[in-house]
A and B are shown apart, each in its own frame.
Chain A
Amino acid sequence: MGTTQITAPPGQPFIEMSREFDAPRELLYRAHTDPDLLVRWLGPRKYEMIVERYEVRDGGRYRYIHRDANGEYAFHGVFHGDPSPDGITQTFEFEGAPGHVSLETMTLEERAGRTTVRIHSVYQSVEARDAMVESGMAEGVNDGYARLDDLLAELSARQPAASRG
């Protein structure tokens, strides 16, 4: 299906992400707000996902845990404003880095039966954003670094030995 576009401009404290899905907006909204559905897709497969609470309303809280053989990674936050298929705004905090809170705004845009999900995440500082990306969501970005993927593909094609780890 679509590819995930991730933009993390140098020197700016935000990350932008977009992805197109072959489904109507209502279905995407359900998949993002129904905890029974959320556990079926959010995070890599190697994690078991446990949703402790997921109160999708203005001021509602959420907390979920990714668990694997190595341990648990918990995340929590609060919904701001009335969540709707037009958009969801929420705070986000990884409990492994307490006090580092980001503000995430998601929008869903449907066109001809396909829906584009866009997420704009603002961090408290560039350093906080970079640390978050570096930790890779407690374990686990592209176009903003101006076609870095293309460049690397080109570099590795021309100089395979040097680009190898």
Chain B
Amino acid sequence: MEQDRLSAVFGALADPTRRAILARLTQGDLSVGELAKPFPISQPAISGHLKVLEDAGLISRTRRATARLSHLEPEPLRDATEWLARYREYWDESYERLDELLETLKSDDTERTR
């Protein structure tokens, strides 16, 4: 994935309201009004968040009669986790090995002082 797109995805995910919006959209498409209900913020503020999510490719919007519906687009999320995963794997595995080595070193030290 290109870097600009990735930065947009991470920027969009950095906000708790936007993450909550994404979580709600996993249950189905919703209008701005429906999305705004559980939040103590105005509908225009929610629209602003939706714009950020749409620009990041995390949602798409379609029209149903007079309402615009937001739809979750999971693909960028999958790409984002892959971006993180390889770096994490390198260090997770290294540190698991280090845990084992430290246990060996500790028992060696105990032997020596006996």
Q: Which residues of A contact B (CB under 8 A)?
A: 1-2, 4, 6, 8, 10-11, 17, 19, 21-23, 27-28, 30-31, 37, 40-45, 126-127, 130-131, 133-137, 139-142, 145-148, 151-152, 154-155, 158-159, 162-163, 165
B63 CB → nearest A CB, Å: 22
Which secondary structure dominates chain B's binding surface?
helix
When the two chains form their complex, are residues B94 and A44 in contact, meaning their CB atoms are under 8 A apart?
A: yes
When the two chains form their complex, are residues B84 and A141 in contact, meaning their CB atoms are under 8 A apart?
A: yes
When the two chains form their complex, are residues A31 and B87 in contact, meaning their CB atoms are under 8 A apart?
A: no
When the two chains form their complex, are residues B98 and A41 in contact, meaning their CB atoms are under 8 A apart?
A: yes
Comparing B21-29, B31-39, B45-53, the segment that makes contact with chain A is: B21-29
When the two chains form their complex, are residues B7 and A146 in contact, meaning their CB atoms are under 8 A apart?
A: no
When the two chains form their complex, are residues B99 and A30 in contact, meaning their CB atoms are under 8 A apart?
A: no
For chain B, the bracket of interface size reads 35 or more
Given contacts A11-B11, A154-B23, contact A137 B86 (CB under 8 A): yes
When the two chains form their complex, are residues A10 and B10 in contact, meaning their CB atoms are under 8 A apart?
A: yes
Which 4 pairs between the two chains have the least Cβ-Cβ distance? A136-B86, A140-B90, A41-B97, A158-B26
When the two chains form their complex, are residues B105 and A141 in contact, meaning their CB atoms are under 8 A apart?
A: no
Residues of A within 8 A of B81 (CB): 148, 152
Residues of A within 8 A of B89 (CB): 44, 136, 140
Residues of B within 8 A of A41 (CB): 94-95, 97-98, 100-101
Residues of B within 8 A of A154 (CB): 23, 26
When the two chains form their complex, are residues A40 and B10 in contact, meaning their CB atoms are under 8 A apart?
A: no
When the two chains form their complex, are residues B99 and A133 in contact, meaning their CB atoms are under 8 A apart?
A: no
When the two chains form their complex, are residues A31 and B84 in contact, meaning their CB atoms are under 8 A apart?
A: no
When the two chains form their complex, are residues A165 and B78 in contact, meaning their CB atoms are under 8 A apart?
A: yes
CA distance A87 to B6 in the complex (A): 33
When the two chains form their complex, are residues A31 and B86 in contact, meaning their CB atoms are under 8 A apart?
A: no
Q: Closest A residue to B3 by CB, please name it.
A: A130
